[in-house]
Amino acid sequence: MKPDAQGWLSGVRRVVSPNHDARPPRTPVELLVIHNISLPPNQYGGNAIERFFTNTLDHAEHPYFEQLKGVRVSSHFLVGRDGQVIQFVPCNKRAWHAGVSTWQGRSRCNDFSVGIELEGSDFEPFTERQYAALARLTRRLKRTYPISDIAGHSDIAPERKTDPGPFFDWERYMAQLK
């Protein structure tokens, strides 16, 4: 996994999302944000997340999807339950993953962060393969970008978000980064 000049990593599947834009000039990537997502909620597999991030989700396919009409979001990466990594937005661009957010007094976390979604929910543990893939991806990103902090979505938007949730094992994840 090595990034090219635009921030696309080799060795990972690429599915291009239109939901991104330019980072502010001279704004380095200093924060990594961990999320969880499952579509429909608490169901895994399939490609609904990919279709959501690429604005091709059929909203009539599931009752939950109706509330996602018009929502335009993305993340830089998704780590599936099997450990497969998909990249949607190059790291040099601003993915739309954090929303209204603040980290250590700085607002607009999308400006200076990379977002990683884990396929999962707040209601069950993540898989061994996900932790291994997340650790590999994090190590690569930290070697490439001046990332000084790692936070959960719940840390940067505590009034709105709970992910990566109570089943995300921060201690285990951090130990794998050493």
Contact 172, 125 (CB under 8 A): no
* 2 is a domain residue: no
* 5 is a domain residue: no
pLDDT for 107-122, tens place per residue?
999 999 999 999 999 9
Report, as an integer, the average pLDDT of 137-142.
97
Percent of the chain beyond pLDDT 90? 97
Q: Which tokens belong to 178?
A: 């050493």
Report, as an integer, the average pLDDT of 64-78.
97
φ, ψ of residue 107 to 5 degrees: the values are -90, 175
How many separate domains does the chain show? Answer: 1
Cα(75)–Cα(92) distance, integer angstroms: 12
* 4 is a domain residue: no
Parent domain of 35:
13-176
- 106 forms beta bridges with 103
What per-residue confidence (pLDDT) applies to 1?
A: 74
- Please state, rounded to an integer, the average pLDDT across all residues of the chain: 97
* 146 is a domain residue: yes
* 84 is a domain residue: yes
pLDDT band of residue 75 (cuts 50, 70, 90) is very high
* 1 is a domain residue: no
Cα(34)–Cα(162) distance, integer angstroms: 11
The CATH code of the domain that includes 86 is 3.40.80.10
Enzyme catalytic residues: 117
Cα distances (angstroms) measured from residue 161 to each of 26, 152, 157: 29, 9, 6
* 38 is a domain residue: yes
pLDDT band of residue 3 (cuts 50, 70, 90) is confident
